[in-house]
Amino acid sequence: MQLADAAARAEVLRREIERHNHAYYVLDRPTLPDAEYDRLFRELQAIEVAHPQLLTADSPTQRVGGKPLDGFSPVRHAVPMLSIRTETDTEASGALAFDARIRRELGFGESDPAVEYAAELKFDGLAINLRYEQGLLVQAATRGDGETGEEVTQNIRTVRQIPLRLSGKVPELLEVRGEAYMSRADFERYNERQRAQGKPALVNPRNGAAGSVRQLDPALCAARPLSFYAYGLGDIAGWDLPTSHADVLDALAAFGLPVCEHRAVVRGGEGLVEFHARIRELRDTLPFDIDGVVYKVNSLALQQRLGFVTREPRWAVAHKYPAEEMLTTVEAIEVQVGRTGAITPVARLAPVFVGGVTVTNATLHNEIEARRKDVRVGDTVIVRRAGDVIPEVVSVVLERRPKRDLLGDEPLHPPFELPRLCPVCGSAVERPEDEAIARCTGGLICPAQRKQALLHFAGRRAMDIEGLGDKLVEQLVDNAIVKTPADLYKLGLLAMASLERMAEKSAANLLAAIDRSRQTTLARFIFALGIRNVGEATAKDLARFFGSLDALMQAGMDRLQQVPDVGPVVAASIARFFAEPHNVEVIEQLRAAGVHWIEGEAAAVVSSPISGKTFVLTGSLPTLSRDEAKDMIEALGGKVAGSVSKKTDYVVAGFDAGTKLEKAQALGLAILDEIQFRELIGQ
């Protein structure tokens, strides 16, 4: 196909595919069989592969996301994303109080007409700001602290409800505020799939949405089904604003943005009361979670007249619903050991029906919270489904606390105390002074942490054991074949081939990968140990500074804090890890199994031309992947940061570099292409 013909066909396909996307994901009215949709999509992909110059930012093929990020870049909001005040009175009187306050602020008397309000739902997800320039989505950012958020454009592109290009006559600049959320059905389907694959499930839809948007790898975000509703504006230019908030939402819908149908324009306090009651009746039937409704003065002119108080608009309020609470008794208090060693006290309850489900357990969060609420065995407690999902103990009904005798005041049961030893492995339990969460120090030998420790150990940036995934690790641990990372190097072909869905060839490939991992680098080995607070960058700093594992293991707190970017918290984590005899024993077993590296090799690079320099990588380089460039820099003593700042020495920019390149240019930083980068490092 000639270029001109290919360009014309690609444009037709893009419009056609986005039309079907809008019908399917926004209007919920599919217009095409899946097979035909897939055929159109594959045709567009083929054209863009054959003619890369035809690839556009708004192409549906770009929704799959780009390469994993090293970190999130900060985004300063042109118009702050302010919070909305919450009405603490969850009854009808709360709506009437808001209306009375608005009338008072406007100076309205009894003879003045009722105020018109836009009433909508309060979604339970993550607030997002979408920036469109000339109708094209150029940036997406989280709310953050209201002034500065994090750029999550790659991840938001995977949300198919969000148009990459707006429809119709669009403003020169339009920032749209809305909520990224996960529907209940998508949440359940995702968790079912995760459990079937032996992978961790999400806690609740809200955490699922927030965690998905903040994944560094957009492919992981794309695997989690997210949705979006628009509800407001940020910065705008080149647009004659409508006169009311309701008209703004209608205009956003006309641009192709999803806007929730459960909204209304009502008059006066009574109208707000009716809307609050109607949505309360619908709440359980909605396909997504809400934790209340929102009232906004509909007239934009009146909004401007009312203005703001501190960091909240006077013209809006969130009106929540009463939390569903019930009384029950505590039958026992146990502790759970999480995959990272976190010790969580859990109250075992007499079964009680709360918020549509039978609750038998409730989290006490941590030792400090359990002691603050003074929850004891035998207590009558108020249980609430916090956030409509996670049951928690709200408080104790002290007058019902069991006593040792009928006439005395001494409680029958003592206060909760955190166990000194891990109930799973018997290792010491510690809680640093500046942290609320206590943790098992068992590390490499604790069964509760074993699966996660093995997966981390085998990770691509750690020991890089290809083929050792979640399902296989689960089988190895559940069948007591592997207890510590050192046991991996004792595996034989017969034992591996006997596992479920493990053919002899696959077993041989895995054993070969394990054997290859015996030769590694000191930095990878340190990172693979899974020392708390020691990430990949810190592991490399430790390897460079000490040059040998023995020197690191013998280092005290003062010596550890001499390492760049290692403070007292990280130093304490390292010291505690190597002070545990069982961790040292596993390390010696790994050495005995032949795991090795060249001692001192990491320290030898400190005299390179880029030693101590900070780089930022952005865009796609012609011949190097992000990881390859990062490895080159770090091997020569440089550092790679995730965002551009005044402390950045060099920015290595490739194709589609984006906002990082713009910021580097604004700061006057040194910008290199791949050829210049290779010249700098002597390649």
Residues assigned a catalytic role: 122
Query: Strands, DSSP E only, in 476-539?
Result: none
Contact criterion met (CB below 8 Å) for 117 and 105: no
Cα dihedral sign, 57-63-67-69? positive
Residues in the chain: 683
Task: Select from 20, 14, 56, 59 the least CA-distant residue to 36.
Answer: 20
Please write down the HEC assignment for all residues of 349-383: EEEEEECCEEEEEEECCCHHHHHHHCCCCCCEEEE
The DSSP symbol for 124 reads S
Quote the CA–CA distance of 525 and 531 in Å, as a whole number: 11
**Structure tokens given for 533:** 């607070």
End-to-end distance of the chain based on CA atoms, in angstroms?
39
SS3 state at 130: strand
**Structure tokens given for 484:** 């510590």
Q: DSSP string of 535-549?
A: -HHHHHHHHHHH-SH
E strand or H helix that includes residue 92: helix 92-106
* Neighbouring-strand partners of residue 290: 123
CA 93 to chain centre: 37
Radius of gyration of the chain (CA): 29
For residue 400, the tally of other CB atoms under 10 A from its CB is: 12
User: Helix 205-213 crosses helix 184-196 at what angle (to 10 degrees)?
Assistant: 80
E strand or H helix that includes residue 3: helix 3-21
Instruction: Give residue 259's identity as a one-letter amino acid code.
Output: V
**Structure tokens given for 464:** 């890089």
Quote the CA–CA distance of 21 and 228 in Å, as a whole number: 14
Please write down the HEC assignment for all residues of 138-207: EEEEECCCCCEEEECHHHHCCCCCCCCECCCCCCCEEEEEEEEECCHHHHHHHHHHHHHCCCCCCCCHHH
Q: In which region does residue 341 sit, left (phi positive, over 0), alpha (psi from -120 to 50) or beta (all else)?
A: left
Quote the CA–CA distance of 153 and 130 in Å, as a whole number: 9
**φ, ψ (nearest 5 deg) of residue 603:** -75, -15
Residue with the two structure tokens 């604004």:
666
**φ, ψ (nearest 5 deg) of residue 394:** -80, -50
Residue with the two structure tokens 């293991």:
553
E strand or H helix that includes residue 640: strand 639-641
Instruction: Give residue 360's identity as a one-letter amino acid code.
Output: T
